[in-house]
Amino acid sequence: MGLNEIRERIAVAERAADRPAGAVQLIAVSKVQPLERVEAVLEAGHRVFGENRVQEAQGKWPDFKERFEGVELHLIGPLQTNKARAALELFDVIHSLDRPKLAATLARLAQETGTCPPLFIQVNTGEEAQKAGILPADLDGFVAEARAMDLPVQGLMCIPPVEEEPALHFALLAKMAARNGLAGLSMGMSSDFERAIALGATHVRVGSAIFGARDYS
Q: Which residues bind ligand PLP (CB under 6 A)?
A: 29, 31, 52, 76-77, 159, 189-190, 205-209
Residue nearest to ligand PLP (CB): 207
Q: Which is nearer to ligand PLP, 127 or 150 (CB)?
A: 127
Q: What Å distances lie between residue 31 and 17, 123, 164, 168, 192, CA to CA?
A: 29, 21, 24, 27, 19
Q: Which is nearer to ligand PLP, 134 or 189 (CB)?
A: 189
**Using CA atoms, how far apart are residues 157 and 95, in angstroms rounded to an integer?**
6
Q: Which is nearer to ligand PLP, 159 or 172 (CB)?
A: 159
Shortest distance (Å) from residue 122 CB to ligand PLP: 9
Work out the number of other CB atoms within 10 angstroms of the CB of residue 137. Answer: 8
Does residue 38 sit in helix, strand or coil? helix
Q: Which is nearer to ligand PLP, 79 or 153 (CB)?
A: 79
Shortest distance (Å) from residue 194 CB to ligand PLP: 12
Shortest distance (Å) from residue 137 CB to ligand PLP: 22
Q: Which is nearer to ligand PLP, 110 or 117 (CB)?
A: 117
Q: Which is nearer to ligand PLP, 19 or 31 (CB)?
A: 31
Shortest distance (Å) from residue 127 CB to ligand PLP: 17
Alpha-helix residue ranges (DSSP H) falling in the chain: 3-16, 35-43, 54-67, 84-90, 100-113, 139-148, 166-179, 193-198, 208-211
Backbone φ and ψ for 73, nearest 5 degrees, come out as: -110, 130
Sorted by sequence, the CB contacts under 8 Å of residue 53 that are 6+ apart come out as 31, 77
- N- to C-terminal Cα distance for the chain? 21
Shortest distance (Å) from residue 49 CB to ligand PLP: 11
DSSP string, 120-148: EEEB-TT--TTS-SB-GGGHHHHHHHHHH
Shortest distance (Å) from residue 209 CB to ligand PLP: 6
